[in-house]
């Protein structure tokens, strides 16, 4: 049996006599689910190099270690794909996702996903990890995607997402001239009862808040920077349509008033013009803030360049 590098914690004087379970949950942040798993493995929970029950008391200076078994995604077919990696360490892999790629294999899409390419990449280096995307991006959305290499890191960053302490920025091209330089959209979101795969703003929906700021205006199209307070399905697409500025290239959430313009622009870009530009969070191991950015992709830049030419 092999393990990942251990999580380590040296008990300080003020925690002398604490119960080991308290150290694991309050200081190392090990969830109840993960704790129930690692305590059953031979080297899962160690104090000063010896296996211990979580009910024991620790002393100042004790070295507490938590080890997780190495895993791999046996159900994902390795496939060599041209992925762009922005960052990697023993805990994380950050990918600049291309538009058109699905993150994880689904029914009918077993290959050509980010997961297939990442598993192949790890195997080519002789490494074993289970594919654990920390968040999802729509198939047509490009940009920064974070992948955890073990259950602890996945849990820690997921908790940051729930607590809204993660920083996420998107860049989007939207139809129309967005007049306000910045604004906030508050509109509850839920499924459209007439078209269940779509979402709408409705008083009975789930709380959703989107902040936007204009980056540049190109006549009938505006480039906006967007930050989310909540993470509802299709939130950006639904909210921007709600204020009369649907995303360029978005065939699902469109307004008839932009039909002629859409037909022109969509000859240049064949997907919704949405890019996950920036992602920042506290690294679970170092406890330091880290941030990643992916520059605007070629198809969105091409639309912007064409619009600039038309304005001259």
Residue 75 bears catalytic tag: no
Same fold, 71-163 and 168-277+300-311: yes
Domain 168-277+300-311 class? alpha beta
At 1 the pLDDT is: 53
With cut-offs at 50, 70 and 90, classify the pLDDT of residue 186.
very high
Q: Which residue is catalytic, options 62, 74, 91, 138?
A: 138
- The residues near 139 (Cβ < 8 Å, ≥ 6 apart) are 100, 101, 102
Question: Residue 177 pLDDT > 90, yes or no?
Answer: yes
Q: What 8-state DSSP symbol labels residue 186?
A: E
Instruction: Look up the CATH number of domain 7-66.
Output: 3.10.290.10
For the chain, what is the mean pLDDT?
91
**pLDDT, tens digit (0-9, with 9 covering 90-100), for 272-305:** 999 999 999 999 988 999 999 999 999 999 999 9
Nearest alpha carbon to residue 289 among 118, 160, 96: 160
Give the pLDDT of residue 301.
95
Which pLDDT score is estimated for 76? 86
Given this model, what pLDDT does residue 32 score? Answer: 81
Confidence of residue 217 (pLDDT cuts 50, 70, 90): very high
Query: What does the domain layout of the chain look like in residue ranges?
Result: 7-66, 71-163, 168-277+300-311
67 pLDDT more than 90: no
Alpha helix positions (H), the chain = 20-22, 32-38, 114-124, 151-162, 235-242, 259-265, 298-311
Q: Which tens digit of pLDDT belongs to each residue from 228-252?
A: 988 899 999 999 999 999 999 999 9
- The answer to which of 31-45, 55-69, 113-127, 177-191 has the lowest mean pLDDT is 31-45
Who wins on pLDDT, 196 or 5? Answer: 196
> What is the CATH code of the structural domain delimited by 71-163?
3.30.2350.10
95: three-class secondary structure by DSSP: strand
Q: What is the mean pLDDT of residues 12-40?
A: 85
Local confidence band at 24 (pLDDT 50, 70, 90 cut-offs): confident
Pick the closest to residue 246 from 231, 257, 233 (CA basis).
257
């Amino acid at each position: 049996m092999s393990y990942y590098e251990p999580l380590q914690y040296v008990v300080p004087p003020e925690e002398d006599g604490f119960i080991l379970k308290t150290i694991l949950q309050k200081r190392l942040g090990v969830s109840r689910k993960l704790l129930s798993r690692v305590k059953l493995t031979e080297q899962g929970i160690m104090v000063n190099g010896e296996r211990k029950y979580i009910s024991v008391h620790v002393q100042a200076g004790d070295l507490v270690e938590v080890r997780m078994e190495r895993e791999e995604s046996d159900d994902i077919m390795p496939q060599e794909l041209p992925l762009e990696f922005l960052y990697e360490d023993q805990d994380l892999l950050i990918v600049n996702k291309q538009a058109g790629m699905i993150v994880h294999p689904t029914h009918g899409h077993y290959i050509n996903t980010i997961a297939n390419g990442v598993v192949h990449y790890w195997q080519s280096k002789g490494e074993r990890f289970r594919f654990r995307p920390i968040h999802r991006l729509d198939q047509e959305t490009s940009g920064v995607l974070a992948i955890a290499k073990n259950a602890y890191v996945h849990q820690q960053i997921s908790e940051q997402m729930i607590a809204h302490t993660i920083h996420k920025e998107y860049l989007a091209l939207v139809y129309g001239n967005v007049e306000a330089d910045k604004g906030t959209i508050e509109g509850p979101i839920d499924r459209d009862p007439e078209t269940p795969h779509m979402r709408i703003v409705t008083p009975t929906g789930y709380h959703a808040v989107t902040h936007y700021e204009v980056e540049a205006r190109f006549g009938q199209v505006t480039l906006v920077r967007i930050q989310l307070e909540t993470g509802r399905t299709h939130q950006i697409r639904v909210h921007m349509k709600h204020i009369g500025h649907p995303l360029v290239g978005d065939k699902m959430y469109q307004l008839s008033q932009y039909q002629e313009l859409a037909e022109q622009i969509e000859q240049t870009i064949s997907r919704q013009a949405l890019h996950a530009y920036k992602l920042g969070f506290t690294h679970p191991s170092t406890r330091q803030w880290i941030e990643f950015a992916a520059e605007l992709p070629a198809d969105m830049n091409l639309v912007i360049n064409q619009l600039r030419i038309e304005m001259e």
